Amino acid sequence: MKRSISFSVNGDTVQVEVHPHWNLLRVLREELELTGAKQGCGEGECGACTVLVNGLPINSCIYPIMEVEGKDVLTIEGLASRDGALHPVQEAFLEKAGVQCGFCTPGMIMSAKALLDANPDPDEEEIRQALAGNMCRCTGYIQIIESVKHAAALLSSIEQEA
């Protein structure tokens, strides 16, 4: 039996018919065609499916869809501004080569964004802790950490200008 639920994705309100046992990732990818978040394991271990729900990073592959009712979901597709300008975290991942194959990147960037929202000037240990649930096989994490540090600097200079 499908049920109807309503929530916000990247600022747009959506109404979707879902089976209650579905997870958020399935609905994002298959019903809403937002394929940015990836399924790397389906068991909440690799973090490739990370999106923000009410600002907090979650593994959408094990997040029950019925829990999303009325909440705000932010995916990688909603991070750049509508005019196409990259978010500083996205920019930083390109500038510091935090990206290689790109499969973990959407999840990694969303975890980094959540960290920087809560802690604008994290040290290396705090970054490593925040990204502990996001696996990457290409980079060895070092340039990802440099990217997050760079993003923090970009964000702080934007704030100072404002």
90 in contact with other proteins (CB under 8 A)? yes
Number of residues that bind other proteins (CB under 8 A): 54
The one segment of 1-9, 64-72, 79-87, 153-161 that binds other proteins by CB under 8 A: 79-87
109 in contact with other proteins (CB under 8 A)? yes
Longest Cα–Cα distance of the chain, Å, equals 53
Question: 25: buried, middle or exposed (CB in 10 Å: 19+, 13-18, 0-12)?
Answer: buried
Burial 46-58 (b: 16+ CB within 10 A, else e): bbbbbbbbeeebb
76 in contact with other proteins (CB under 8 A)? yes
The one segment of 1-9, 27-35, 63-71, 115-123 that binds other proteins by CB under 8 A: 27-35
Which residues, other chains included, contact 117 with Cβ-Cβ below 8 Å and sequence gap of 6+? 55
Residue 108 · residue 147 · CB < 8 Å? no
- The tokens for 12 are 């747009």
How many Å apart are CA 121 and CA 160, to the nearest integer?
14
With respect to other proteins, which residue has the nearer C-beta, 68 or 106?
A: 106
59 in contact with other proteins (CB under 8 A)? no
149 in contact with other proteins (CB under 8 A)? no
The one segment of 34-42, 65-73, 113-121, 154-162 that binds other proteins by CB under 8 A: 34-42
Residue ranges in contact with other proteins by CB under 8 A:
29, 34-43, 45-46, 48, 75-77, 79-80, 86, 90-91, 93-97, 99-106, 109, 124, 127-129, 131-132, 134-145
